[in-house]
Amino acid sequence: MLDLRKQLLSEQYFFNDFVLAFRFQRQLAENETHVQLTNLEKKLSHLEQNNFALEEFVANKKAELNFEPVKNRVLKMQWEYNKMLVEGAKANGAA
């Protein structure tokens, strides 16, 4: 009998907490400041996602447009080719 009473009291407390939470949620939903804050938080989250996507896009484009390694290889090849031409000219001039 005592256990049943404890169980019923426990369920009653749970139900009372549930009712209070429901009332609180309803009051918040009716509160204009809370509604505006919730909407602003959603907007902020969306803007942060867009910002992240744009930062990734820019980083990828920068990586695609990084011609520095290609430029360095071409300049090295040009220098080597010029060196061969100069050596060839010297050899032909000496002959």
Q: Which two tokens stand for residue 6?
A: 């404890």
pTM of structure: 0.48
pLDDT band for 95, please (50, 70, 90 cuts).
low
Into how many domains does the chain fold?
A: 1
Residue at 84 is within a domain: yes
Residue at 83 is within a domain: yes
Find the domain containing 74 and state its range: 67-95
DSSP state of 65: T
What is the pLDDT, as a whole number, of residue 94?
63
Report which of residues 48 and 95 the model is more confident about.
Answer: 48
- Rounded Cα distance between 84 and 91, Å, is 10
Report which of residues 48 and 65 the model is more confident about.
Answer: 48
Residue at 48 is within a domain: no
pLDDT band for 93, please (50, 70, 90 cuts).
confident
- Rounded Cα distance between 42 and 44, Å, is 5
> Are 52 and 58 in contact, with CB atoms under 8 Å apart?
no
What is the pLDDT, as a whole number, of residue 79?
97
